[in-house]
Amino acid sequence: MIPDLSVDPSGSSVDDRHRVPTGDTGTAVSRLAVVLGSARPGRFGPVVASWVTEQARRHRQVDIDLVDIDDHQAVDREAVAALGGRLAAADAFLFVVPEYNHSFPGELKTVIDRFTTEWARKPVGFVSYGGLAGGLRAVEQLRLVFIELLAVPVRDTVSFHGARSAFGPDGNPHQHEAARAALDQLLTQLAWWATALRTARRAQPA
Ligand SMILES: Cc1cc2nc3c(=O)[nH]c(=O)nc-3n(C[C@H](O)[C@H](O)[C@H](O)COP(=O)(O)O)c2cc1C
């Protein structure tokens, strides 16, 4: 059973322009920030992030804020504060991340390092893509980074190897049913942890 993810609406600082509609459930939802972690010209990442976001939207209990790190390379204070507000409002994070040289993109690390409490005591999941390794080495390194930031990486990962040929022109993976089932499981894990950790944060603020 998917847990009830009711939230206190007064805590939001999410810019509504970045919200993806959540469908017709009418249910109070958890806030999931989907973070697109590539910023390279000609990147493939938006295809993967778009599919992930669409699937998450169908997962009836989440309210989605899509954070594209390509929009957040500038370091002016207002922009950093605005992104910090969006991250602080999230109950869970789902990173869409490619593998670069057996790690994750430097642009993503720069954004992660700008924030601390915004990540802490919240669950983090990963959808990875890349060459033969499917981005999994990027994910393993990100797990270590997020443990240092007091976040909680969840067990499951969805990965796409040979990413450009794994998706069709319609933007869906060729193995759509298997990929969707894997992502649903990951989203359900994130939702469980989001509820548990939100309850714990409220009961015992850091
Ligand atoms: C600089 C660079 C390094 C890469 N290193 C790896 C790697 O170590 N392992 C791998 O499986 N794929 C590697 N790739 C392939 C990428 O993961 C793949 O092209 C992916 O689509 C890149 O994501 P993007 O297009 O969103 O930037 C590399 C690509 C680039 C540009």
Read off the pLDDT of residues 72-101 as tens digits, 9 standing for 90 and up: 988 889 999 999 999 999 999 999 999 999
Give the CB-side neighbour count of residue 178, counting CA atoms within 13 A: 7
Which are the contacts of 19, defined by CB distance < 8 A and separation ≥ 6? 63, 64, 65
Strands 19-20 and 62-68: antiparallel
CA of 41 to the centre of ligand 1 (A): 12
Residue 65 to residue 86: CA distance in whole angstroms: 8
Residue 40 to residue 28: CA distance in whole angstroms: 36
Q: Could you tell me which residue, 63 or 98, shows the higher pLDDT?
A: 98
Q: Atom 3 of ligand 1 has which residue's CA nearest to it? A: 100
Nearest to 89, CA basis, from 141, 146, 19, 36: 19
Predicted pLDDT of residue 61: 59
Q: Atom 18 of ligand 1 has which residue's CA nearest to it? A: 130
- The pLDDT-based confidence of 3 (bands split at 50, 70, 90) is very low
Name the CATH code of domain 19-194 (choices 3.40.50.360, 1.20.1630.10, 3.50.50.60, 2.102.10.10): 3.40.50.360
